[in-house]
Amino acid sequence: MKYSIASLITLAWTVTTVNAAVPVWGQCGGLNYTGDKTCAAGSTCVYSNDWYSQCLPGTATTTTTTTTTRTSTTSTRTSTTTSTNTSTSRTSSTSTTRTSSTSTTSTATPSGTCGTFGNPYESGYTTYLSPFYVAEVNAAIANASSPALAAKFPAVAQIPNFTWFDVVAKVPTLNTYLADAASIASKIIVQIVVYDLPDRDCHALASNGEFKIANNGVNNYKGYIDGIAAAVSAYPQVRVVAVVEPDSLANLVTNLSDQRCANAQSAYLECTKYAIEKLRQCNIWLYLDAGHAGWLGWASNQDPAAQMFAQVYSGVPNNRVRGLATNVANYNALQAVSPDPVTQGNPTVDELSYIRAIGPKLASRGFPAKFLVDQGRSGVQNIRDAWGNWCNIEGAGFGLRPTTNTPDALIDAIVWIKPGGEADGTSDTSAVRYDATCGLNDAKKPAPEAGQWFQAYFEDLVKYANPAF
């Protein structure tokens, strides 16, 4: 008997439509969430934050969060990249081990004793597929607007992207992912985003976080980092590539006139230093987020930015900071065919020109930075009304696939850092985290809270993907 792939997908689509339980790693609750709250057999719905509960394997030993009430903030959101050429064919996780979270102090080995500190994506390494994202995409098949489109989704799930640790409650899942990865291949990379600074997203509202500086946020953050460090130490055989705190240092370069960023400055610097100090295991590679061409790429911002990053870099001896990540969750081209009209006035029109401009400025200040570039949502150009717009840009498509085949030796890899299909921020004007940028003309609406699944947006990314799926 022969079935075409399309008919099998159609079948899967039909079947999953009937079977309503949320799959393991899927969303099962949160503010504004209207979907199914029943987890598939063998998993339990665990509260993660006010906006998110997730089906985790096993009968969860519940992780409780000390969630404080959010106040608002504003932001200039950018994005970054993801990586590489090899992907596993794994589509779901089988691991059920959950270790407890928290503040174990990790034993960091100074990188001086770690041997060569080269490109983590060197050949022979495969990149782990986030089971969480795979589950999101599988759930999207059930909700697809057409079987023909749904037939393209499984290929998206095979492209690795980064797992964002945006709340401390998710840290225990890092142990699960690392254990799972270790069981799949001996040379494997797990890609994560460290993202829980106190007073996070100081120049915007959509991604305001759970920790407040005024409410023990710096110490809470240190506990969060300790949890990540302990997991990384527990799996020395797995390579971890970590993008550190999207937008934060860039905000300190350009947005100190915003009182919220000025207030957060010393906490951001202390917390970033702590993260770099604790995450010095030989199996981790850190890339600090460096905004994008349309932000720190402006000529007048390049030197102050290079100064800031070089200072942070040199503040921790024997660190594991390999370089910077650019265009995280943004839409810029790596190499624009022709400059997007919104770039007018800035000769640094794309990520390659930004990296070629700032790379030498960093090196001359003692930071020989290499780069990751997010191209996950950069497939379609000339779709923004203004370069600073960052929220759920309408018409975006999945972009260049992760690869180490890059146009400059400064770039370690093209990667997908923002999980395509997760929202940048809500368009609900009554929401606490509503940011006006998400209500602009070029933002797709209606959009759910940042990080939540945005089915219509995911479908557009697939439809407009370039290269196509």
Q: Which residues are annotated as a binding site for substrate?
A: 164, 166, 292, 295, 330, 390, 418, 422
The correct pick among 29, 402, 419, 448 for binding ligand BGC (CB under 6 A) is 419
**Which C-beta is closer to ligand BGC: that of 133 or that of 153?**
133
Is 450 one of the binding residues for ligand BGC (CB under 6 A)?
Answer: yes
Can residue 26 be called a binding residue for ligand BGC (CB under 6 A)?
no
What is the number of other CB atoms lying within 10 angstroms of the CB of residue 456?
A: 15
User: Smaller CB distance to ligand BGC: residue 111 or 392?
Assistant: 392
Which tokens sit at 126? Answer: 């495969």
Residue 169 region, left (φ>0) first, then alpha (ψ -120 to 50), else beta?
alpha
Cβ closest to ligand BGC, residue 350 vs residue 374? 374
CB contact at 8 A, 64 and 53: no
Provide the CA 395 distance to its chain's centre, in angstroms: 20
Q: Which of 258, 351, 424, 435 binds ligand BGC (CB under 6 A)?
A: 424
**Smaller CB separation from ligand BGC, 340 or 422:** 422
The residues in 300-329 that bind ligand BGC, with binding defined as CB under 6 A, are none
Min dist. Cβ of residue 210 to ligand BGC (A): 10
Q: Which of 25, 164, 285, 367 binds ligand BGC (CB under 6 A)?
A: 164
Using CB under 6 A as the binding rule, the residues of this chain from 166 to 185 that contact ligand BGC are 166
Q: How many residues in the chain? A: 469
Binding piece for ligand BGC, criterion CB under 6 A, among 8-16, 87-95, 142-150, 414-422: 414-422
String marking each residue 367-396 x if it binds ligand BGC according to CB under 6 A: ------------------------------
- Catalytic residues, by residue number, are 247, 424
For ligand BGC, the binding residues (CB under 6 A) are 164, 166, 207, 418-419, 422, 424, 450-451
